[in-house]
Structure 1
Amino acid sequence: MSLERGIHPISSELIDRERRMVERRIKQARFPTTKSLDSYEFKAMPSLNKLLIMELARCDYITRNENIIAVGNSGTGKTHIAPGLGLAACQKGLAVGFITASALVHELLEARDDKRLLRLQKQLAKYRLLIIDELGYVPLSPTGAELLFEVFSGRYERGSTIVTSNLPFDEWTSTFGSERLTGALLDRLTHHVHILEMNGESYRLKQSRSKPVG
Structure 2
Amino acid sequence: MLTHPTHDRLVALGLTGMAKALDEQQRQPDIAALAFEERLALLVDREATERENKRLVARLRFASLRQNAVVEDIDMKAPRGLDKPLFQKLVAGEWIDRHQNLLIIDPTGVGKSWIACALGHKACRDNRSVLYQRLPRLFEALTLARGDGRHARLLRTLARVELLVLDDWGLAPMTAEQQRDLLEMMEDRHGRGSTLVTSQLPVEHWHELIGNPTIADAILDRLVHNAHRLNLKGESLRKAAAKRQTLDDEPAN
TM-score range, shorter chain: over 0.9
- Structure 2: distance between partners of 1:26 and 1:175: 32
Q: Normalising to structure 1: TM-score of the pair?
A: 0.95
Gaps of 5+ in 2: 1-33
Match of 2:89 among 46, 50, 55: 55
Q: Deviations over 1:90-134 (max 9, x none)?
A: 001111000101011111111112222111111111100000000
Equivalence for 2:140: 106
Q: Secondary structure at the match of 1:43?
A: coil
Matches within 5 A, 1:141-152: 141-152=175-186
Output the amino acid matched with 1:106. E
Worse-superposed segment, 82-91 or 39-48: 39-48
Output the amino acid matched with 1:185. I
Match of 2:105 among 40, 62, 71: 71
Q: Deviations over 1:70-93 (max 9, x none)?
A: 011110100111010000000011
CA RMSD for the aligned pairs? 1.4
Indicate conservation of the 8 Å contact 1:45/1:76, yes or no.
Answer: no
Equivalence for 1:167: 201
How much does 1:182 deviate? 2.1
Asked which structure has the greater RCO (Cα within 8 Å, sep 6+), the reply is 1
Q: Secondary structure at the match of 1:134?
A: strand
Equivalence for 1:13: 47
- Structure 2: distance between partners of 1:193 and 1:162: 9
- Structure 1: distance between partners of 2:80 and 2:111: 12
Q: Deviations over 1:19-75 (max 9, x none)?
A: 111111111100111211222222223421122112111111111000000011110
> Is 1:213–2:249 an aligned residue pair?
yes
- Structure 2: distance between partners of 1:213 and 1:186: 47
- Structure 1: distance between partners of 2:214 and 2:239: 37
Equivalence for 2:122: 88
Moved over 3 A (4+): none
How much does 1:174 deviate? 4.4
Equivalence for 1:192: 226
Q: Normalising to structure 2: TM-score of the pair?
A: 0.81
How much does 1:178 deviate? 2.2
Match of 1:135 among 169, 176, 181: 169
Indicate conservation of the 8 Å contact 1:78/1:164, yes or no.
Answer: yes
Output the amino acid matched with 1:199. K
- Structure 2: distance between partners of 1:172 and 1:122: 25
Q: Secondary structure at the match of 1:163?
A: strand
Worse-superposed segment, 197-206 or 174-183: 174-183
Worse-superposed segment, 140-149 or 161-170: 140-149
Q: Which has the larger radius of gyration?
A: 2
Gaps of 5+ in 1: none
> Is 1:154–2:188 an aligned residue pair?
yes
Indicate conservation of the 8 Å contact 1:134/1:164, yes or no.
Answer: yes
Output the amino acid matched with 1:189. L
